[in-house]
Every structure is written in structure tokens, then in C-alpha cells.
């Protein structure tokens, strides 16, 4: 017990400074996972004064320094660093607005990666003791920051952070010239405005390189190179006699749709439904959560501090076209992000309505149910949008503010769904077992849970023709040509170019769930 109490005490100062009823920052906890490299993160925080928070994982928490001029690669800069309280591990992935109180301002994750004590020097196994002694020599392996550093206490809480003059040093390098988040591509100003980051799409030249490549080759998109294999393998048949869909076409689609898809994946762990032998293959599809050791270094990994709830340790975190290209080559055909972010895995950012038709449910009946939710959203004054699943169903996504639990969203969607089910009892079954539902539809509020995921907007579904889950404007429910699998990977990019993304209306909406 004493050890547990010590652990909890590490975050006492952090907890004492914050009111978790009014800040979106995570309460977090001490983590105990030791079988992986230590993580570091740097956040750019525009508080009363701009600073960068350097955070090194030590002893299950993030030892933290506020660095007003920022860490960098220039060996001539000696940056003042003020030691601040240890932060919980999850905090490192936090981006958002702190509306009031301690740290009021806006935060992005400016860099992340792993770190180690500098192997060129002897060091204590007890890294916390090294910090207490006032000097730590270390090596960073990040997206922006690389190489050897030293941080030294000069007086009290005042330290100096120095980049060593090694092969990674870049004289004159200025952190302010590299302002975007490594997780979401957002700047601090984007976070304040509630706008998504801007992600690169492949250029015409890059697309031509993919088209002209043999069955195997190296492809560079948005600055990262992936080894592509088996590009001509058929993953699914075409629809209605159209040509079959190869892995090359799937890789191409995910690279092109990356600017639209990534906003719904960034900062969240992602599960892949893989079909290495195609959708008709002997193995069928299977869920893959852990990032394999052979994945390239640019693939962002999130170490799950809740690994006792869900055994997977290091999840994929998609941050743009290169990681989507890697996932597609890995035969990750279908993409399911978590409903919560890595910073607050126990707090959903959407309430999800899942209209799951039974075998006897017609498309017209599915639309009746969707229209009823549309009326409910209007009456409750909630901004929400439907999407077709690419298979048979329709989902409605309701963006919510931080602070809700999965119990809250599940109870809200259950109450709403039961209200609608009472109006049309002939369409809806509440039986748990499929065989007891008499073919009726299910309004599946149980998808609002930490370990449940729904298919991402613009993800491919494993069916002939490669249909896609596509967001809709509410008015499109009235279109007589609408079908749940209307758009395939061959039509989605054209639709996006002409009508844009209806889910764009959901970004930045911080809604409270009304009482029902
Ligand atoms: Mn700060």
C-alpha cells in the first residue's frame, strides 16, 4: 500500500492546482508500463506568457519544465527552463483550450517521441534521483527534436536546457518556425478557432509514381517513404461487373482522402480491420490493434496507459497520409478510431447513435428511424450529422464538450433511442440476442463504451466495390437515390470535391448533452 500511496502522491501538486470540473485537462494517473522506451513530449502553451513544456517520462509520470524560448536544435541557445510539477502521463497528448484558472490558454503537442539517458555518460538507474541531483544528460528521438541534450539546475526551480553540438545540431534553428502540432497538424490559433489541421494530399507526380510502380516499391508521400508490397493483389471484387479493387487502388484512395479522414483520427488510438488475403480470403478479416515492431519509425505509436482494460500496449495513431499509406499496405482496409482521445481515454468526444438494421428491416424503414433522430436533434438543439455506414446502416454523430463519461453518453443515447423505439415499436427490438430480434432493427446505444469503436468517416468497408462510410447533410436523407452503400472509393473523392465534408460542421462543437 505504501508504494501505491507514494505513486498517487506524485500527482498531488498537479491535482491541487486544477479543478477538473472546469478544465478539459486530464486528471490522469501514474502509469506502470515498463516494457517500452520512455516517452517524451513537448507542448506549446500560450498561457499568460508563451512557453514550451518539456516533459520526460520518469517513474510513471512526466517530469516537466516550462521553457519560455523553447527547446530546439541550435547548440548556441541556452534556454532557461523552469521546473514545474510532475504531470500525469496522459497529459502529454492533451491539446485544447484551458478556459480559466491555472495555465489558462491554449495547448498543442509540438513534438513527441522517445528518450533515453545519454549512453555516453554513466547514469543512475534512478532517473528521478538524477533530476533531484540537478543534472540530466539525455538523448531525444522525436519528430522535430533529435540528439543529445543536457538540463542543469542553476538555482531553485531555474534550470538551463542546452543542445549539445552533435550531428543533429542545426545552428540558427528556431522552434517558432515549426509551429504545427505533430498530432493534429493544428497551430495554437487553430485550436482556439476550433478548426482542423491542414494535411498534405499526394501530388500528381507522387500519384503517377504509384500508378507506374511494379508490384513492389518504395513510395514517398508527404515526406515519408513506405515500402509497398503486393500492389496488384485483388482485395475485393468490383461491383456490378466493374474491375476488381487492388491493394494499389486502396493505397491510392487512403493517400488521397487523408486530408479529409485524418481530422477524425488525429490524437486517437485506431483499430484496423485487416484483410491480407482479400475479403474472400481464407482468414477473412481480423482486428489488429498493436503496431507491429516492423512498422517504420514515422508511424506514431500511442502507449496505452489503460492496458489493463484493453491488453494492447502500443496503438497506431494516424497523423496524415504516410501512416494511412502504411496501414493500407498492411491490409488495414477498415479503420475504426476510438471515440475518446489519447489525452482523456475515458472521456468520449462524441455521443454515437447506431441504427443497425435487422434482416427484415427495409432501407425505407432505416430512413424512417434516421429521420426521427433528425427531428430529435432539431428539438434538442444539437448539432449532429448522419453518415451511411457503407453497409446497411446509418449512424448519427453528436460532438460533445469534454467532461462526460461513457456512462453519460450511453445513458443519453439509450434514453433517446428508447423514446424513438416507443413511437415505432414495430421497427425496433431491444432483445440483446440477434436471434431474438425477429429481424427488427437495433438502436445500439452500447457502442458508447471505451472499448467499442465505430467505422471512421471515409473508411472503406470490406464488401464488393469497396463501399465507403460517407457523412451526409440531413437533407440528403430525403434523396430517393440515397443508399447506405451508395459511394465507393471510386466516387468519394469526386463527392468531396463537389460538396465537401458534411462532418466539417461538427468540428469544434463543444455541446452539452440536454436532460431528457
Ligand atoms: Mn505550460
CA 423 / ligand 1 centre spacing (Å): 51
Q: Closest Cα partner for 409 from 465, 360, 368, 447? A: 447
CA 179 / ligand 1 centre spacing (Å): 16
Residues spanned by CATH 3.90.920.10 within the chain?
Answer: 204-337, 350-506
How confident is the model at residue 1, as a pLDDT?
31
CA 102 / ligand 1 centre spacing (Å): 9
pLDDT band at 254 (very low <50, low <70, confident <90, very high): very high
Model confidence at 171: pLDDT above 60? yes
How confident is the model at residue 309, as a pLDDT?
55
Residue list, CB under 5 A from ion ligand 1: 45, 53
CA 12 / ligand 1 centre spacing (Å): 17
Model confidence at 5: pLDDT above 80? no
Q: What angle do CA 463, 440, 429 make, to 5 degrees?
A: 125
CA 337 / ligand 1 centre spacing (Å): 28
CA 24 / ligand 1 centre spacing (Å): 14
> Regarding predicted confidence, which is higher, 3 or 165?
165
Is residue 370 a contact partner of residue 386, using CB atoms and an 8 Å limit? yes
Model confidence at 300: pLDDT above 60? yes
Q: Which residues contact 325 (CB under 8 A, 6 or more apart)?
A: 219, 221, 226, 228, 251, 254, 255
> Regarding predicted confidence, which is higher, 432 or 57?
57
Report percent pLDDT > 90 for the chain: 84
What's the average model confidence in pLDDT over 98-110?
94
CA 306 / ligand 1 centre spacing (Å): 25
CATH of 204-337, one of 3.40.50.1390, 2.40.170.20, 3.90.920.10, 3.30.930.10: 3.90.920.10
CA 67 / ligand 1 centre spacing (Å): 9
CA 459 / ligand 1 centre spacing (Å): 36
Which CATH topology does 350-506 take?
DNA primase, PRIM domain (3.90.920)
**Window from 69-73, 89-93, 286-290, 418-422 with minimum mean pLDDT:** 286-290
CA 196 / ligand 1 centre spacing (Å): 22
- CA–CA separation, 213 vs 236, rounded Å? 21
What's the average model confidence in pLDDT over 411-424?
97
Q: Which three cell numbers stand for residue 103?
A: 495555465
Phi, psi angle pair for 287, to nearest 5°: -80, 135
CA 171 / ligand 1 centre spacing (Å): 26
Amino acid at each position: 500500500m505504501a508504494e501505491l500511496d507514494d505513486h498517487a502522491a506524485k500527482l498531488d501538486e498537479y491535482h491541487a492546482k486544477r479543478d477538473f470540473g472546469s478544465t478539459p485537462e486530464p486528471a490522469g494517473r501514474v502509469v506502470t508500463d515498463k516494457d517500452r522506451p520512455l516517452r517524451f513530449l513537448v507542448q506549446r502553451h500560450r498561457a499568460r506568457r508563451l512557453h514550451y513544456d518539456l516533459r520526460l517520462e520518469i517513474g510513471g509520470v512526466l517530469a516537466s519544465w516550462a521553457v519560455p524560448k523553447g527547446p530546439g536544435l541550435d547548440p548556441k541557445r541556452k534556454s532557461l527552463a523552469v521546473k514545474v510539477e510532475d504531470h500525469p502521463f496522459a497529459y502529454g497528448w492533451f491539446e485544447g483550450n484551458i478556459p480559466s484558472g491555472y495555465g489558462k490558454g491554449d495547448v498543442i503537442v509540438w513534438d513527441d517521441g522517445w528518450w533515453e539517458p545519454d549512453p555516453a555518460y554513466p547514469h543512475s538507474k534512478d532517473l528521478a534521483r538524477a533530476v533531484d541531483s540537478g543534472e540530466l544528460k539525455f538523448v531525444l528521438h522525436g519528430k522535430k527534436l533529435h540528439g543529445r541534450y543536457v538540463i542543469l539546475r542553476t538555482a531553485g526551480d531555474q534550470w538551463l536546457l542546452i543542445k549539445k553540438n552533435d550531428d543533429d545540431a542545426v545552428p540558427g534553428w528556431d522552434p517558432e518556425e515549426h509551429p504545427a502540432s505533430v498530432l493534429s497538424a493544428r497551430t495554437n490559433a487553430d485550436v482556439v478557432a476550433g478548426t482542423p489541421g491542414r494535411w498534405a494530399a499526394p501530388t500528381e507526380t507522387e500519384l503517377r509514381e504509384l500508378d507506374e510502380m511494379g508490384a513492389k516499391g518504395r513510395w514517398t508521400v508527404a515526406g515519408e517513404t513506405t515500402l509497398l508490397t503486393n500492389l496488384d493483389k485483388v482485395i475485393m471484387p468490383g461491383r456490378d461487373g466493374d474491375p476488381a479493387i487492388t491493394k494499389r487502388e486502396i493505397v491510392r484512395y487512403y493517400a488521397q482522402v487523408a486530408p479529409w479522414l485524418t481530422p477524425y483520427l488525429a490524437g486517437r488510438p485506431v483499430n484496423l480491420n485487416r484483410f491480407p488475403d482479400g475479403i474472400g480470403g481464407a482468414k477473412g478479416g481480423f482486428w489488429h490493434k498493436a503496431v507491429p515492431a516492423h512498422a517504420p519509425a514515422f508511424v506514431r505509436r500511442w502507449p496505452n496507459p489503460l492496458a489493463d482494460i484493453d491488453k494492447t500496449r502500443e496503438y497506431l495513431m494516424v497523423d496524415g497520409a504516410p501512416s494511412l499509406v502504411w496501414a493500407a499496405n498492411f491490409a488495414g482496409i477498415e479503420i475504426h478510431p476510438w471515440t475518446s482521445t489519447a489525452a482523456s481515454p475515458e472521456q468520449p468526444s462524441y455521443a454515437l447513435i447506431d441504427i443497425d438494421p435487422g434482416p427484415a428491416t427495409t432501407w425505407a424503414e432505416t430512413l424512417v428511424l434516421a429521420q426521427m433522430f433528425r427531428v430529435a436533434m432539431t428539438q434538442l438543439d444539437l448539432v449532429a450529422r448522419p453518415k451511411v455506414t457503407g453497409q446497411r446502416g446509418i449512424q448519427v454523430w453528436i460532438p460533445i464538450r469534454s467532461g462526460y463519461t461513457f456512462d453519460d453518453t450511453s445513458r443519453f443515447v439509450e434514453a433517446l433511442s428508447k423514446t424513438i423505439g416507443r413511437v415505432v415499436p414495430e421497427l425496433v427490438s431491444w432483445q440483446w440476442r440477434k436471434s431474438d430480434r425477429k429481424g427488427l432493427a437495433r438502436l445500439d446505444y452500447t457502442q458508447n463504451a471505451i472499448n467499442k469503436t465505430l467505422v471512421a468517416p471515409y473508411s472503406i468497408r470490406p464488401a464488393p466495390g469497396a463501399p465507403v462510410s460517407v457523412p451526409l447533410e440531413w437533407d440528403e436523407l430525403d434523396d430517393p437515390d440515397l443508399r447506405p452503400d451508395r459511394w465507393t472509393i471510386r466516387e468519394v473523392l469526386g463527392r468531396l470535391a463537389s460538396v465537401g465534408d458534411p462532418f466539417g460542421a461538427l468540428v469544434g462543437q463543444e455541446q452539452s448533452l440536454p436532460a431528457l
